[in-house]
Chain A
Amino acid sequence: MSLLNYTLRIADSSLISGQRLAEWCSNAHTLEEDIALSNIALDLFGQANILLEYASDLDGKKTADDFAFKRNEREFFNLKLTEQPNGHFGDTIVKLFLFSSFNFLFYNKLSQSKNENLSAFAFKSLKEVKYHLKHSKSWIVRLGDGTKESNKKVQESLNSMWEFTGEFFEMDEIDIELNKKGIGVNNKSLKEDWNNIINTTILESKLKRPEDGYMQTGSKNGLHTEHLGHLLSEMQYLQRAYPNAKW
């Protein structure tokens, strides 16, 4: 049960993140960026798919699609950061950068998991996440050190997303249990390396690191911001409206 829950947390963050990024399709500032964001969204859907298939094996009854399309808000465990609306390009890129910088470190450790499914998944995903990190970081630098307007905008994005980064490093009972078994990652231990990535990027971008203030929490228990419900009602519409249909 703990393993299923742990798997869903990772899967859901990828799925919800992909769902948000895919909203950019046909809306980016250049065709090249439109393609890049779709690529990243596709990677994330691919990751979610692998893990939801694994969740389906663990569960024995539900399919991967059941997990994606037939759970309610309180049964989703994605990081709250990932469900935040896209906002402008700066908001999206800050979200992607924060998420990818954490995931890069997280997958790096998870690739050493004793659970072969998770380690193989993490090993495969690490390559993708490296690119996501590189891409989003290069935009943070360009926006931060671009024009006055872009610096101001991306600084505001960083300030407003900051409160969602506390969740990255939380450890609840499930995390502790699986970490002890050599299956899960000790999230707390990632903090120092994460700080390094963030601080180096922020320096290069001529931005300021926000102060740690109130930090959001709750996603490990299925507690979310109000945005998730709307995202799910859109994503799950067909499966909900036609429960007997196969697609």
Chain B
Amino acid sequence: MNEIKFQEKIDSERKIEPKDWMPEDYRKHLIRQISQHAHSEIIGMQPEGNWISRAPSLRAKMILLAKVQDEAGHGLYLYSACETLGVSRQELIQQLHDGKAKYSSIFNYPTLSWADMGAIGWLVDGAAIVNQVSLQRTSYGPYSRGMIKICKEESFHQRQGYEIMAEMASGTPEQKEMAQDALNRFWWPSIMMFGPQDGDSPRTGNAMKWKIKRQTNDELRQSFIDKTVHQAEIIGLTIPDPDLKWNEERGHYDFGKMDWDEFWDVVNGKGPCNKQRLDHHKKAHIDGKWVRDAAKAYSEKQKDLVIN
């Protein structure tokens, strides 16, 4: 009975709110998806954080720091959205540290030059936006509202990334080389950010039925590729895919084969920065324990003062 009413609500485009009845699998699916999204924001601070101290101008430094700070803020919204489903931030972080929760694999690649700040903003945030714009209409209220907030900031991120790429692509030969190299390294991991192809994505069925997802991985990927090809042309960079070709009939770009073996390797821990990223997060958490303990002890003393 509950289940029928629940589905009716979804089908009539009304949002599910924290106190509403929901199937256990819907709740689980959301916790997995939202926490993965939150962890991605937080782990994603590291590859860009890697260049804050070396940003080449005061302006670039401030923009990059503000951007990474936004990501911390996005992580906070998303952890909060997840908490409305009855799981604490502490538990979610523990799942991340235990390797039970995943984050976007793209952040397991290293940032090797300043152009990578451009590539991440342009491609990684660009791909994220395509996904998140679609998620603004997701069926779970807190998640949907979080996405609306996040999308506003993400479009600024993508612009700043593209601006870095455009400047470097029209700069000295060395800068142009860095820009092309960054595009070469980040292109394929970026388009694989949308996840496995629809035929290999076991959870897509329920997620679409419950309107957690509104578009499939392949639809989102295609839409990202279609809009990015032109952007690359404008700034004179070449997308590293010889099979990339406009298909008049489909009204979309055809593109080459993605290396899913590499994708799954990185998802399962065998990527260039998996260990580094997780160790970094754990270390910050462990190093900060004495501070959290002190804050807690202090606040308990204050409560005692009030009571006595």
State whether these chains interact.
yes
Q: Spell out A's residues near B (CB within 8 Å).
A: 19, 22-23, 25-35, 38-39, 41-42, 45-46, 48-49, 52, 64-65, 68-69, 88-90, 141-143, 145-147, 149-150, 153, 234-235, 237-239, 242, 244-247
Q: Do the beta carbons of B49 and A26 come within 8 Å of each other?
A: yes
Q: Do the beta carbons of A150 and B172 come within 8 Å of each other?
A: no
Which residues of the other chain, B, contact A30 by a CB distance below 8 angstroms? 288, 292
Once bound together, how far apart are the Cα atoms of A246 and B68, in whole Å?
23
Q: Do the beta carbons of B287 and A25 come within 8 Å of each other?
A: no
Q: Could you tell me which residues of chain B, from 53 to 87, have a CB within 8 Å of some CB in chain A?
A: 53-62, 65-66, 68-69, 72-73, 75-76, 79
User: Closest CB of chain A to B137's CB: distance in Å?
Assistant: 27
Q: Do the beta carbons of B53 and A22 come within 8 Å of each other?
A: yes
Q: Do the beta carbons of A146 and B295 come within 8 Å of each other?
A: yes
Of the candidates B65, B175, B284, the one whose C-beta lies within 8 Å of that of A42 is B65
Q: Do the beta carbons of A244 and B54 come within 8 Å of each other?
A: no
| CB-CB under 8 A for A150 and B45, given A45-B61, A49-B58 | no
User: Closest CB of chain B to A200's CB: distance in Å?
Assistant: 17
Task: Answer whether residue B184 sits at the interface, using C-beta atoms and an 8 A cutoff.
Answer: no
Task: Answer whether residue B46 sits at the interface, using C-beta atoms and an 8 A cutoff.
Answer: yes
- Residue of chain A at shortest CB distance from B286: A29
| CB-CB under 8 A for A150 and B114, given A26-B68, A234-B53 | no
User: Closest CB of chain A to B256's CB: distance in Å?
Assistant: 32
Q: Do the beta carbons of A25 and B45 come within 8 Å of each other?
A: yes
Which residues of the other chain, B, contact A147 by a CB distance below 8 angstroms? 290, 293-294, 297
Q: Do the beta carbons of A238 and B62 come within 8 Å of each other?
A: no
Q: Do the beta carbons of A29 and B285 come within 8 Å of each other?
A: yes
Which residues of the other chain, A, contact B298 by a CB distance below 8 angstroms? 141-142, 145-146
Once bound together, how far apart are the Cα atoms of A56 and B181, in whole Å?
35
Of the candidates A41, A45, A145, the one whose C-beta lies within 8 Å of that of B58 is A45
Which residues of the other chain, A, contact B114 by a CB distance below 8 angstroms? 238, 247
Once bound together, how far apart are the Cα atoms of A42 and B73, in whole Å?
15
Closest 10 pairs (CB-CB, A-B)? A29-B288, A146-B294, A150-B294, A247-B56, A238-B56, A38-B69, A26-B45, A142-B298, A29-B291, A146-B298
User: Closest CB of chain A to B223's CB: distance in Å?
Assistant: 31
Once bound together, how far apart are the Cα atoms of A45 and B298, in whole Å?
32
| CB-CB under 8 A for A45 and B65, given A29-B289, A29-B291, A143-B291 | yes
Cβ contacts B252-273/A at 8 Å (1 or 0 each): 0000000000000000000000
| CB-CB under 8 A for A49 and B62, given A35-B73, A234-B54, A239-B56 | yes
User: Closest CB of chain A to B231's CB: distance in Å?
Assistant: 20
User: Closest CB of chain B to A38's CB: distance in Å?
Assistant: 4
Q: Do the beta carbons of B291 and A89 come within 8 Å of each other?
A: yes
Once bound together, how far apart are the Cα atoms of A145 and B301, in whole Å?
9
Q: Do the beta carbons of B75 and A31 come within 8 Å of each other?
A: yes
User: Closest CB of chain A to B98's CB: distance in Å?
Assistant: 19
Which residues of the other chain, A, contact B23 by a CB distance below 8 angstroms? none
| CB-CB under 8 A for A29 and B287, given A64-B58, A234-B54 | yes
- Residue of chain B at shortest CB distance from A231: B53
Once bound together, how far apart are the Cα atoms of A88 and B126, in whole Å?
36
- Residue of chain A at shortest CB distance from B79: A31
Q: Do the beta carbons of B294 and A68 come within 8 Å of each other?
A: no
User: Closest CB of chain B to A83's CB: distance in Å?
Assistant: 13
- Residue of chain B at shortest CB distance from A141: B298
Which residues of the other chain, A, contact B59 by a CB distance below 8 angstroms? 49
